[in-house]
Structure 1
């Protein structure tokens, strides 16, 4: 097939025909042939016969198998020169006339093998002529044409291989598309089924929650009536079950919303410090019931307002504090809030730490902490923890939905620490700098608390406000310190209630303020020196307001 002044061939047979025609014009040859070999049998692909038919296309030329194998092993990659075909062991059997040909006679033969690039044998190119008819130049021409045909054979082999590979790819593609289409159908059906289940679950959970709220309300009313001790025990069990079921219903509803992708961020303006203090106060009664101290440590100078989802922040803290209370049987739970900086666009970043002194978590179980329906703590004969394993999964999903992250560290027997980092948008209506600093300059305060962490938080707060603060952990140390100097106020943990009477008996006794767990009602009869009570976990502004009143109107 001609293309300008170049020749292009559709296949090897066409190229072989071109070579045979060219050599028939360039050589003084009686016959020119291109053959393919299959062992000791060669098949003529293209042939030229000048005066008589010596070979024909499709003719099989058979050699002695043993001799052919040995001979080709030694001579395959070299030109072949046989002066007399009737005398050479390779060709002497071919000198006899065969059906449809007239090969009898004496010829000289020159030829060269045709091979693939990997050395595999394809066949050969040969010319027959009278003895001495071929020159060295003729042999070089045959050799170059055989090399050309080797190149064509290799191209055809690779093309066939590529076509087979392409065919397999096309078939694989069709098969993959069939599988993908089947999966798409299954995925669509699964998605629809999941959505239906999620909708049904949300509906049922909502209805169950409504009924539970009614049961809880009636239980609270029943608790206000006259009950026997046995009835109170039964009622406590009912109320505990109601609370568990309500928590379960809320978790299932939240989880179904998250799975259905229906949870979204509700951005509004809110006070982050008050929000965190509200959650701590809400969880305080449960901690007090277990005789676990809940300590709130909020860094001074946090923004008064930020923009974000206050509801989800409450839910995150409720879940983390609920877990801390559940798995802490003695000691304390510390909630620390810090500002970790601002981004270039003014985004406010908070770090909230919830650290408890509970039972802790083994290192090999931490990976399963955020897995759905997975419990890392097993109940035993002494303690039944219960739960669904959804709380922390929901917590992590909510945090990630808000653009934050959560990490956990723990050690069995020593407690667990969760660190939550959350970003919030600044409030652009006015300067988002810290509020005007709270100042109690010159106020001298003696703080008495046997909890080292609570005392440290209290002393830091007083120092940040400019007060002169001294903290002690025993009644004896407090009395000794009062004997060495005067104070405007003594802040007493309610555990040191008797110390208030001893202080009142001192000459020039300073006023006293009590730090009591939320819900505690101290008996202040005959204790005129107790000026006020501040409830734990401490709310910064309430404590500051009470101390400001002392500073403005100090006791005589």
Structure 2
């Protein structure tokens, strides 16, 4: 069999290269392991030496101070004997003597038995132990010295003369025996520290020498042939790690803040606006209230979207197409934006193309979110002039269809109605400061901010990043034309399926199947069966809101301020309540601990417990399900949806209905809402 020229050489070379790479990898791994081992050993030795030196120095200082304190005790005891009791000088000397004796005693106990507050371990070497407990018995002498001093202090405190015998013994010990043995203790501590440091230095020198030899070997056999590759790989790895850590940290901080700090007050804001009796308001106030409710609802939905920002990285952010009146969506959005523009004395104009289709299949929330983000930035960075919102019909895409939609009667036997794909441009134009090319290039980078005005305003990097992702998810694209000092024009082009007029008419007449509960209506009707609801909520605003709405729903709320009160109320009459709404973050006993206590106490006889929380991240929801919450109700709470769920539970607990703690009718399905 003939082998083509050069093939054998190529195969041999490839095999040799692979073998060389494997050999290099093995040597590199071994070298790194050795370097790591030596580095860890060196670090451990150095750290141990530094700690030992610091501890030993402190011990030596304390031991040396004992000598000074012993002489100070003798001095002030002698002075005390010379002073007349009751005199200020006598009291002053007595106080100094008492403090000195206390410090001497505590230091002695710390040196021999340890004192964490003084930084003393109490560990004694054999030589040091011999001094304190052996032939010199410094421990016994020190305790005797302390006892003599205490006797003198007690007599002086009672304003009696200092006993001459005790004073003589005290001075004798201080002048000779005690002082000598204290000096020996200091010397022993000093010698022990010097020896330990010397050993550490020799060990460290040996490790350092071995490390140098290993590094030289690596430089010769590994780093020289692979220096460029390794350096580049390490640089990229470090950059990627730092970037990932930065993004992860900022995302966690943002999502945590959005999830709890915004949801909780937003819940109270929206809920209490819903409770306002519109019939008592003037027409102008009613209009303001309607705009406030619209803005609050949009903010709630926007918070939910931002909380899903992590889903952008995994492609899990979704849109929910439905039959949408694009003109109405744009007018509502303009109404929300107009007060912000007027507050800066800016004109906000809405220009709608007359040829726009009556209805399209799209996600109205996403459309509104796109316009709010773009126009909101324009208002922020424009100080004079106008903001112009334009919606243009670019016509049908030739040969393109947007899928099918069922007929009004739900009959899809004929395939339903074919939708024509229309291209629509959403244009936001302002007369603001504009941006240069560098700013335009980074405006869609997540978490990137930059100054766009002399006032120091910053771009909403996160909002623009989300906007771009939503536009791309909807199959469109976004273009920016900006000139510094003149303004910015942002154009979003979207493909939107046009809904036939007949389906729009049927929907308007109420023939289209389905429907939604009004978002600003807190009551979805009463089931006829009142539920006893135990509600644990520490926030007084939210508690009041829940209480009023549940009363309006026809149910009976019992309010408590923390998990401890919830447990006590439930345990006093376990069969009273049909459902428990449990806040998670509460004082005394939080919702999770309360759930655990209830489960342990009632062992399955408890009513369904729903977690009410502003923590809406997927990992939080999963954890609450695993803990055993029957359902998760996220804040801000959609009162209409809550009413539906409570009514469903009431129907299941009515006579003839289900009377169990599980199953979808009781709310025990671990779904979420809000």
Structure with the higher helix share, 1 or 2: 2
TM-score (norm 1): 0.39
TM-score (norm 2): 0.33
Task: Answer with 1 or 2: which has the greater Rg.
Answer: 1
Higher RCO, Cα 8 Å, sep 6+: 2
